[in-house]
Amino acid sequence: MAGATIWKGYIHFGATDVPVKLHTAVREERIQFHLLHRRDRIRLRQQMVCGYEKQPVPSEEQCKGFEVEDGKYVIVDPAELEQIAPESSRMIEVHEFVKTGQIDPIFLDRLYYLEPDTSDIQGKGFNALVRALKELDVAGICTWSMRKRSYFGALQARGKMLRLSTLRYADEVIPVRSLELKDVPLSEKELKIGSELIEKLTAPFEPGKFENEHQKKLQEMIEKKARGEKIVVLAPRRLKPTGEDQLLRALEASLKKAA
Amino acid sequence: MASQGIWSGTISFSLVAIPVRLVKAIDPGRVSFRLLHKKDYSPLARRMFCPEEETMVPPDEIIRGYEIGPDQYILMTDEELESVSPERSRTIEIIDFIDMKEVDPVYYDHPYYLVPSKGGEKAYRLLVEVMHRTKKAGLAKFVLAEREYLVAVTPRDGALALTTLHYSEEVLPDEDLPPQKGKIAAEEESRIRKTIEHMIEDFDPGKYADERRKKLMDLLATKAKDKAPVEAPVVEEEEEEGPADLVAALEESMRKVKPH
């Protein structure tokens, strides 16, 4: 089952409005731990602490500031923030369409499924929009606001359905150049053997084949501990890094193994 | 980025092993506000606090507990957690290479970067380059803190990006959503199609980030006219952030509570 409807609105572009309902696309169920104080097993809480006084600060003594230069802040009060908060609206406004291949996946954040809102009798165009997006292989770049937050997203067709991904803002993505990676020369031979190896190790993507086995093992360990059984602690496997001078040999041996 | 990383270990494919660190690829804080103390304008930091003792608790005094009843917990040390899947807690072993185009974006969860640790630079460069040439991504499983992740490793601008993927059981099927019934009127479709064709542009995410920033800057500019910025007291750097994995786990849990 697709998730419950979380929001209703309409997609607006040009002179067209398509009423839709938003559903969540992913449901995560994981074993949850709490953080405890080791010596008295008291459950800890998160607390905002003053960096200067090293003391917890209750919410009424907190304020919001924007850092204009190192250590200097412009204080903004909640009423002013309210002013720039997005007005609530039911509109997903499409500003432009882009070729789907142009969207760098690093921008993709949360994904929602859209269904036509048939309770709106004015509403139509859903199927036509799906078809057009598909045939033109484009995504609609749009903005909307939901629960007092503004979102930036991409509207795409998938099968007979529409999907809406929220996108991360460009200034939230850390550029690769800030990682300061060194350029290391590689020989054509290393590249050739490496590429061959990758081609040999390529398989189709079958997500169903991967189960979260770890979750089950973790559950078993918890149960074992609950029964008071002793746990044998195993050291994590650590691989010996392949040295620079061994790289070519390791690639050749890998290729032989894969053959 | 002087970041020591969220995690450190090895990424391997076949017989090649590369020492790496996992670092953030997303930093949502760059155009957002910081919480400050009204009294002295010092920035606030999120810390774990013991309500009983009313003290801050340093990372080395924190332990994970699984709740089995009210105030009853099964304690789990980091070593025990690593021991659940010892083959995966320090190694990202690429099982298969795949064509990233086959991966439905519904699986994408969170992106990170991998950076080479000392001695791994050359093999790292090679993996980036050959994946780029062959247009492939590496598929692996690895364990970080209490979670096991299915991940895709891809080349991005000369670096290795690591994206956590959802397991297929977490992805809700969309087939059961009812598509609209009825025939598509040909004229309606052609009208919609024309509108779209007129609106095709190049993808430029910077534009939207700038708009958001501008709105904020406009507000700040009007503020700055009335009042000069305040200054936070200088604080000595904290020596230690604590075990990287725990910090990562905290960040992860924060990311989860973020309203969506």
Tens digits of residue pLDDT in B48-68: 989 888 888 988 899 999 999
Say if B174 falls within a structural domain: no
Say if B181 falls within a structural domain: no
Say if A128 falls within a structural domain: yes
Mean pLDDT of chain B: 84
Tokens of A99: 């070729």
Q: Which domain holds residue A97?
A: 5-25+88-172
ipTM of the complex: 0.87
pLDDT digits (tens, 9 = 90+) for A155-196: 999 888 899 999 998 888 999 999 999 999 999 999 999 999
Is residue B175 very low, low, confident or very high in pLDDT (cuts 50, 70, 90)?
A: confident
Is residue B242 very low, low, confident or very high in pLDDT (cuts 50, 70, 90)?
A: very low
Residue B135's pLDDT is 95
Q: Please tell me which of A19-23, A70-74, B122-126, B234-238 the model is most confident about, judged by mean pLDDT.
A: B122-126
Residue A184's pLDDT is 92
pLDDT digits (tens, 9 = 90+) for B195-237: 999 999 999 988 888 777 777 778 887 777 777 788 888 876 5
Cut 0.95: pTM above it: no
% pLDDT > 90, chain A:
51
pLDDT digits (tens, 9 = 90+) for A97-126: 999 999 999 999 999 999 888 776 655 788
- Contact criterion met (CB < 8 Å) for B49 and A44: yes
Is residue B101 very low, low, confident or very high in pLDDT (cuts 50, 70, 90)?
A: confident
Closest CA to A240 of B18, B140, B160: B18
Say if B224 falls within a structural domain: yes
Say if B189 falls within a structural domain: no
Cα separation of B117 and B133, whole Å? 23
Cα separation of B198 and A126, whole Å? 19
Three state DSSP letters for chain B: CCCCCCEEEEEEECCEEEEEEEEECECHHHHCCEEEECCCCCEEEEEEEECCCCEECCHHHEEEEEEEECCEEEEECHHHHHHHCCCCCCEEEEEEEECHHHCCHHHEEEEEEEEECCCCHHHHHHHHHHHHHHCCEEEEEEEECCEEEEEEEEEECCEEEEEEECCHHHECCCCCCCCCCCCCCHHHHHHHHHHHHHCECCCCHHHHHHHHHHHHHHHHHHHHHHCCCEECCCCCCCCCCCCHHHHHHHHHHHHHHCCC
**CATH code assigned at B84:** 2.40.290.10
Number of domains in chain A: 1
More confident residue, A235 or B243: A235
Q: Which domain holds residue B235?
A: 7-48+61-66+77-169+206-247
Say if B194 falls within a structural domain: no
Terminal-to-terminal C-alpha distance of chain B: 28
Q: What is the CA radius of gyration of chain A?
A: 26
pLDDT digits (tens, 9 = 90+) for A214-235: 888 999 999 999 999 988 888 8
Is residue B31 very low, low, confident or very high in pLDDT (cuts 50, 70, 90)?
A: low
pLDDT digits (tens, 9 = 90+) for A30-52: 888 999 999 889 999 999 999 88
- CB < 8 Å to B231, chain A: 71-73
Element (H, E) at A61: none
Residue B186's pLDDT is 81
- CB < 8 Å to B245, chain A: none
Question: Angle formed by the axes of helices B186-198 and A126-136, to 10°?
Answer: 50
Residue A28's pLDDT is 80
Report the pLDDT averaged over residues B55-83: 89
Of the candidates B39, B80, B219, the beta carbon closest to that of A231 is on B80
Of the candidates B38, B46, B180, the beta carbon closest to that of A116 is on B180
**How far apart are the CA of A73 and the nearest CA of chain B, in angstroms?**
5
Which residues between 224 and 253 in chain A have a beta carbon less than 8 angstroms from any beta carbon of chain B?
225-226, 231-244, 247, 250-251, 253
Mean pLDDT of chain A: 89
Say if B115 falls within a structural domain: yes
Say if A40 falls within a structural domain: no
**How far apart are the CA of B21 and the nearest CA of chain A, in angstroms?**
11
Cα separation of B190 and B11, whole Å? 50
* Position B96 pLDDT exceeds 70: yes
Say if A11 falls within a structural domain: yes
Type of residue found at A56: P
**B67, B84, B253: which to substitute to probe chain A, counting the most A Cβ within 10 Å?**
B84
* Position B29 pLDDT exceeds 50: yes
Say if B131 falls within a structural domain: yes
pLDDT digits (tens, 9 = 90+) for B111-131: 999 999 999 999 999 999 999
* Position B181 pLDDT exceeds 80: no
Is residue A74 very low, low, confident or very high in pLDDT (cuts 50, 70, 90)?
A: confident
- Contact criterion met (CB < 8 Å) for B167 and A194: no
Which residues between 135 and 174 in chain A have a beta carbon less than 8 angstroms from any beta carbon of chain B?
135-136, 138, 140-141, 143, 147, 149-150, 152, 158-161, 163, 165, 167-174
**How far apart are the CA of B51 and the nearest CA of chain A, in angstroms?**
7
* Position B93 pLDDT exceeds 60: yes
Of the candidates A105, A113, A213, the beta carbon closest to that of B177 is on A113
Say if A21 falls within a structural domain: yes
Residue A235's pLDDT is 87
Residue A36's pLDDT is 93
**CATH code assigned at A139:** 2.40.290.10
Say if A221 falls within a structural domain: no
Is residue A251 very low, low, confident or very high in pLDDT (cuts 50, 70, 90)?
A: very high
Residue A29's pLDDT is 79
Is residue A207 very low, low, confident or very high in pLDDT (cuts 50, 70, 90)?
A: confident
Number of domains in chain B: 1
